Structure 1
Amino acid sequence: MDIEPVDHSPRLAIPWAVLRQRWEDLTFLHWAVAPELVAPLLPAGTRPDTMDGVSFVGLIGFRMVGLGFGRGPGVPYFGTFAETNVRLYSVDGTGRRAVVFRSLDASRLVPVLVARVTLRLPYLWSSMRLDHDGDRRTYRCRRRWPGPAGTTSRMVVRVGEPIADPTPLEHFVTARWGLHTRAHGRTLHLPNWHPRWPLHRAELLHLDDELVAAAGLPTPAGPPVSVLYSPGVAVRFGPPVAARRRGVGPPEPQ
């Protein structure tokens, strides 16, 4: 099986956009994790994507801006909100690299309900806040529904200099062009496209997080192996397609 390059972009594979949005003020925290620990948490027909024998768990805070459908404008009010997600990294049977979300906390209830019903994505309704103070970004989250209610996260970073040439690890955890999810009895691949990330070095000033553990993952031991910031990109998603197995991961239920 040929695995797509980390820098591969599926621009031509998205003939029309199902969803359009902007991701802004992103902070990426990543920890190394053993592939065998995360493999049971991935959708059927996928396996952990690895680099030098390890995989990664990411905690990403940002603002979703102007979420809209197709060629239409962004949905007023409901299309802009704060979000924090916990994610893993996967490969399917056709070699497509993607992310798998273990949780997506968002501050608007309607998008949470729509995403949970249509794509079975693990969105959760939370009270959230993103504050700017010069070069500092503070992300706060307290989960409301469906739970565990009261789960919290607070991370504070200082944004540093732009990165002209990202390292292989920085490419690996950011250059992702789709997601895998299990919905309606099938494992789906939902492709996306956006420009190359404008990345900055960042310093983690404070982290008090319960979201990673609530997502069924070990509480990170020690500091993250990567801390990055991006001012953001415009994103479009194509229609979901079934992720074929080709011998990767456990067989799909019939």
Structure 2
Amino acid sequence: MTKPDEPLTASTPRVVRRPVLSQRWMDVTFLHWPVPPAAVAPLLPPGTRPDVLDGSTYVGLVPFRMEAVAFGRGPGLPYLGTFPETNVRLYSVDGRGRRGVVFLSLDAGRLLPALAGRAAFRLPYHWASARVRRAGDRLAYTGRRLTPGRAAGYRLAVEVGDRLDTPDELETFLTARWGLHVDWYGRTLYLPNDHPAWPLHSARLLRLEEDLISAAGLPAPKGPPPQRPARPGRPRPLRRPGGGVDSPPRTAGGTRPAGRATGRPTRRPQPRPAPAPRRRGGRRRAVRRRGRRPLHRVVHHPGPHRAPEGSRRVARVSRAPVTLPWPRRTGRTRRARPVSRRRRVP
């Protein structure tokens, strides 16, 4: 018996108590094109059907940067747990009404995570040479698949816009997905996920060149996506380059102009204090007494003036072995023995 589809929610309806994997997605960009449901139905796992909104389903191109991949709730893996990734995905629903996504391809910038995803979860991972660059409010994604015989790549750039306080129904339909449908060795599995709500921002598409969608078995999209791409940012307000949140620009002298509300004067840079003069004396030297091996001693000199009569200099012998030349002119060096006692030098 087929159950009705679950409603669209901004938070997960199924809390994950014991996660198998944990990860963090950063600098994500969502690009979507509407496609006929009949075109994507053969690409879905058995027991699932295309998830439809207003008579259309969508194919998504989602580049991002993966960080802190870990097993369970453990710490993130160094090096292997951080890499760029780009996936092509569809939207599905099963007989129990659970909404999810189906990945047609996943291009990862690390070889070992791609092999582990293929072996453990039967996900269509591909090893790729990918890169994510950020300059202010602009994000650039580039990548090229390294899998032999399956050449494909992408190159796109977006400019992040204003924060979306209340996402509409389409934006919630495309981003609030709380599970994954995968064909796992002849069985269709549903893998739930749990994460906070995306802080979505509008974005303007600056450049788009890709052939990942056509390589996945779908017709190549014609033109840019019809709707605005949504980019989830970090859970904090956007910062302007070189300043704080909505901060006034810096002047040529490195200071900020006076504020309108407070009327505080402009701070002038203070000159740095002159460095203190170097103190004479206290230098290290090697003292060699006649008839004995050379020893390295730290001698505290009395300074440029002469020592008063009757005073003695105390030479502290260093414990660290040093290299001193032999008295002979052979060019060889010998390692001195560390001495831990004090000697009085006349």
> TM-score higher than 0.5 here?
yes
1:125 is matched with 127
1:7-86 alignment, distance < 5 Å: 7=9, 9-10=11-12, 12-86=14-88
Q: Does 1 or 2 have the higher relative contact order (CA < 8 Å, sep 6+)? A: 1
1:165 has 2:143 as partner: no
1:244 is matched with none
2:209 is matched with 208
2:150 is matched with 148
SS in structure 2 of the partner of residue 221 of structure 1? coil
Q: State the distance in 2 between where 1:27 and 1:231 align.
A: 9
Alignment gaps of 5+ in structure 1: 234-254
2:248 is matched with none
SS in structure 1 of the partner of residue 45 of structure 2? coil
2:5 is matched with 3
| Deviation per residue, 1:168-225 (Å, 9 max, x gap) | 1111100000110001220011100111110000000110001111111110123213
Q: Which moved more, 1:139-148 or 1:11-20?
A: 11-20
| Deviation per residue, 1:136-179 (Å, 9 max, x gap) | 10000100015413x11001000000000111111110000011
Residue 82 and residue 64 in structure 1: after superposition, are their counterparts in 2 closer, same or farther (change >3 A)? same
Q: CA deviation at 1:11?
A: 5.8
Q: State the distance in 1 between where 2:11 and 2:47 align.
A: 22
Letter in 2 for 1:2: P
Letter in 2 for 1:41: L
Runs of 4+ in 1 over 4 A off after TM superposition: none
SS in structure 1 of the partner of residue 233 of structure 2? strand
1:250 is matched with none
Q: State the distance in 1 between where 2:210 and 2:85 align.
A: 14
Letter in 2 for 1:132: R
**Is the Cα contact below 8 Å between 1:33 and 1:55 reproduced in 2?**
yes
**Is the Cα contact below 8 Å between 2:99 and 2:178 reproduced in 1?**
yes
2:191 is matched with 190
Q: CA deviation at 1:10?
A: 3.5
**Is the Cα contact below 8 Å between 1:124 and 1:146 reproduced in 2?**
no
1:93 is matched with 95
Letter in 1 for 2:107: D
Q: State the distance in 1 between where 2:14 and 2:38 align.
A: 34
Residue 232 and residue 192 in structure 1: after superposition, are their counterparts in 2 closer, same or farther (change >3 A)? farther
2:114 is matched with 112
Q: Percent identity?
A: 56
Q: If the length of structure 1 is used for normalisation, what is the TM-score?
A: 0.88
Residue 148 and residue 208 in structure 1: after superposition, are their counterparts in 2 closer, same or farther (change >3 A)? same
| Deviation per residue, 1:77-122 (Å, 9 max, x gap) | 0011000000000000100000000000000000100010111100
1:238 is matched with none
Letter in 1 for 2:184: A
Structure in which a larger fraction of residues adopt strand: 1
**Is the Cα contact below 8 Å between 1:124 and 1:147 reproduced in 2?**
no
Q: If the length of structure 2 is used for normalisation, what is the TM-score?
A: 0.65
Residue 47 and residue 11 in structure 1: after superposition, are their counterparts in 2 closer, same or farther (change >3 A)? closer
Q: State the distance in 2 between where 1:12 and 1:99 align.
A: 16
Letter in 1 for 2:156: M
Residue 69 and residue 147 in structure 1: after superposition, are their counterparts in 2 closer, same or farther (change >3 A)? farther
Q: State the distance in 1 between where 2:146 and 2:118 align.
A: 15
C-alpha RMSD over aligned residues: 1.3
